Structure 1
Amino acid sequence: MKKVLIASTALVAAGLMTTGTASAAEKIKLNLGGFSKWWVVGAWQDSSFEDGTGVGYANVDVKGDNEVFFGGSTKLDNGLEIGVDIQLEAGGHTETAASNPDVIDESYIWIAGGFGKFIVGSENNGVYLLHVNAPDAAGNWGEGGVLAGGNSSGGATAIVSPTAVRGFIGGNGTAPRIDNDAEKITYVAPTFYGLTLGASYIPNASGTTSAQKGEDNSLQATSMEAMGVGALYANTFGGVGVKLSTGFIWGDANVASAQTDFTQFVAGGQLSYAGFTVGGSWRKDKADEKGGQYGNGGGSAVATSGNLLNTTGWDAGIQYASGPWAVSFAYFQSESEGNAGNNLEDQITIWQVSGKYNLSPGVDVLATAGWAEFDDEGSKAATGDANHNEGWAVMTGLSLAF
């Protein structure tokens, strides 16, 4: 899991890239920006899961997500703009741990003009950048949420996901993250009557393990060449805001010397009016002939060659915002079939209520309460159930943007 919290990093960085502009006769001047979020979390795991795993989990935790952005641009005499964005992980979770030393989260350059924008480097793919999902008032939803985040190996979820439970690659959200922040070339076309198109080419999308991060094309045994294309339509009609997105990613991987196809389909939408926003999204992953890390959503090996894994998930939510206040409710569910060469079905269900209150520009008080269930159809041992966990979580936090 790349992040503990979903911090709208791409949007914040996009705003940063428009600042710090220099003339063509000057070097690029970097501006400083970023965010800091900290949560105090209360979580209660299922007692049968703790008995089955032999682990007693603490009921109180502190989760954080902190990044510092460095970005700037220059405008050439011919009208082209060229810029850079570098995002430094600043502690608060496992990103800076010795086992996962990805200190620079994203780093890329961009070229923009009347033709659109090209992004080259480590950044989310074009389908991800245009994707729309369920709204959440606290920015605490999807693959980066404290409750809804990744699996147990990522250490991000307040309610622990059993290792046997499989779900989406990249965490429990509908955003397409097959490649994580692997190096790539992305093109975003100019918006035309509300329609924006984006596409990415990823030489190696093998970004599911900390040892690779999709950054070493010499790892041919686990490499995946991938391409994706997406679209976003955003417009307003008589005070009603409309957002619709869709996208497709295809990957061709070399896993255990067997060529493997991997596909992701995503779609989402939102309607907003008079402070209310209603929205949701859908995603389907299909992995054929799985013999390695792409076959389970968690990054560990699946021993059975020829395994087919299909994961389908969706989310839906509603939000109301008025002045400094915002409240929301969101629901997520995913189902995975064919894990480890069998026909068993794993299911993940999450719902949460979130709130936000703005104290001053860049300072928000956050709160979330919710429930999560992770279920594997494997057998239950007499001493407990290590393949099933469910529980409640409540949390409050503070978000600072600078």
Structure 2
Amino acid sequence: MKKILLSALVAGSTFAAVPSAMAQDNAIDLGIGGFMRGYVAVHDQDDMPGNESRTFDILRDTEVHFKGKTTLDNGLTVGFHTEIRNDLGDGSAVDESYVYFSGDWGRINFGAEDGGAYLLQVAAPAADSNIDGVRQYLNPINYDTLTNGALGTGFQIDYATNSSGKSDKITYTTPKFSGLQVAASYTPDVSGTSRSLGVAEDDELDDRGSAYEIGARYEREIGDFNILLGAGYVTVDVEQKSAASDDLKSWNAAAVLGWKNFQFGAVYFDEENVDTDANENHDGFVIGADYTMGLWVLGASYLNGTYEELAANEGDTERYSLGLTYNYGPGMSFRGSVHHVEHEFGGAIGDRDATSLLLGTQINF
């Protein structure tokens, strides 16, 4: 990271020395933002024989964002956003990079960003949204030792409808009409990566090709009640199918009801042919509730799902979560939560449980 920052400073000083004849007027001033999520984990899990995971460890997730925008005299807003993930061992990587254009007519995203189904997805209340939210950013379970290598350590228990990932795409989001907002995305090649030279290969065996998706979100207040509804659908084509592959299809439907300081919500999710593998499906439901007391938020959630990551086993999963968040400043929070996960893998792996206590903070900057 120090080398990256040093290189950026050297590059900045080099560009500053360019003669004024080559300089251009810049309407957008670049800003820096991001976040740091850091936790300590007290953890116990049922490892397979011959494997052992730590009972105390530190988990963290950090990103630096470069962003900027301007609104022109004609009302058009033009913006740029890039996210760099820093907690990848000794390296960093670009997570998102896109430009956008917006106005009274809506917004267009162009580049590497999540699609419309995820951007408008409604999440159930959570104990700690970093751990039991719509996307699991931190997970203390070591699935490598839990399954003796059948699953990698990066396995996640979440319900995000983001089958197109952050592949290059075009997304249009409408303005809100009486509380309703809709977004649609097109991704030319989910398996491809961002490039400047040469278009992507096509008609590759078992390769993920074009993705089409749509998301919708509706919000309305009636007295002390707040109603939030959402749904999304994604389909990803397989370029050249084999006996082991098929088109990926995923969808979700969600509802959250708020009354004064209480919230209660439920989400159903379904993903067929995960990563275009005809033998892998995800489906299930999540229910959650929270109660806000000034700067404190008490939350709980329950997930019941099936994650068919093992060819011969269904991977039935239940997760129970309870947590407390204290917002001690703008964009700053302390978080404490307890999570218990039960897996029924069947076969040689059998039933595997894990229980975690996590204490941490998130700082947005």
TM-score class, shorter: 0.7 to 0.9
| Letter paired with 2:163 | I
Backbone CA RMSD of aligned residues? 2.8
CA distance in 2, matches of 1:44, 1:82: 49
Q: Which has the higher Rg, Structure 1 or Structure 2?
A: 2
Q: Map Cα deviations across residues 191-230 of structure 1 (whole Å, 9 max, x no partner).
A: 0000000011111223xxxxx6687833734232110011
Matched, 1:152 2:143: yes
Q: Are the aligned partners of 2:48 and 2:146 in contact in 1 as well (CA < 8 Å)?
A: no
Q: State the distance in 1 between where 2:242 and 2:279 align.
A: 16
**Deviations, residues 313-348 of structure 1 (Å, cap 9, x unaligned):** 1111110111110011101121256963x5x43212
Equivalent residue for 1:123? 113
- The answer to whether residue 200 in structure 2 is matched with residue 217 in structure 1 is yes
Q: What TM-score results when the alignment is normalised by the length of structure 2?
A: 0.82
**Is the 8 Å Cα contact of residues 43 and 140 (structure 2) preserved in structure 1?**
no
**Pair 1:50–1:161, CA change in 2 (3 A):** closer
Structure 1 pair 336/41, CA: closer, same or farther in 2 (3 Å)?
A: closer
After TM superposition, list the pairs within 5 Å mapping 1:199-210 onto structure 2.
Answer: 199-206=184-191
Q: Is contact 1:106–1:181 with CA below 8 Å preserved after alignment?
A: yes
* 8 Å CA contact retained: 1:163, 1:387: no
1:294 correspondence with 2:286: no
SS of the equivalent of 2:27 reads coil
Q: Are residues 1:397 and 2:360 paired?
A: yes
For residues 50-75 of structure 1, the C-alpha deviation after alignment (integer angstroms, 9 at most, x for no partner) is 31xx1111101100011111111122
One-letter amino acid of the structure 2 residue matched with residue 32 of structure 1: I
TM-score (norm. length: structure 1)? 0.75
The 8 Å contact of residues 126 and 229 in structure 1, kept in 2 or not, is answered as yes
Give the whole-Å Cα distance in 1 for the aligned partners of 2:314 and 2:279: 12
Picking from 223, 229, 239, the partner of 2:224 is: 239
Counterpart for residue 333 of structure 2: 364
**1:29 lines up with 2:29 in the alignment:** yes
Once the two structures are TM-superposed, the CA of residue 145 in structure 1 deviates from its matched residue by 4.4
Pair 1:281-2:244 in alignment? no
Note the 1:174-323 alignment, pairs <5 A.
174-206=159-191, 217-218=200-201, 220-221=204-205, 222-254=207-239, 260-287=246-273, 293-295=275-277, 307-323=278-294
Distance of aligned partners of 1:316 and 1:372 in 2 relative to their CA distance in 1, 3 Å threshold: same
| Equivalent AA in structure 1 for residue 43 of structure 2 | A
Q: Measure how far apart 1:177 and its partner are.
A: 2.0
Per the alignment, residue 9 of structure 2 pairs with none
Distance 1:255 1:283, change over 3 A: farther
Structure 1: how far apart are the matches of 2:147 and 2:295? 34
Secondary structure class of the residue paired with 1:127 = helix
Q: Mean Cα displacement is larger for which, 324-333 or 354-363?
A: 354-363
Query: May I ask how many residue pairs the two structures share in their alignment?
Result: 332
**Is there any run of 5+ residues in structure 1 with no aligned partner, and where?**
1-24, 154-158, 207-211, 296-306, 381-385
Instruction: Give the direction of change, closer, same or farther, for the CA distance of 1:105–1:338 in structure 2 (3 Å limit).
Output: closer
**Equivalent position of 1:86 in the other structure:** 82
Give the % identical residues.
Answer: 27
1:375 aligns with 2:361: no
Aligned partner of 2:96 in structure 1 is: 106
Contact kept? 1:355, 1:368, Cα under 8 Å: yes
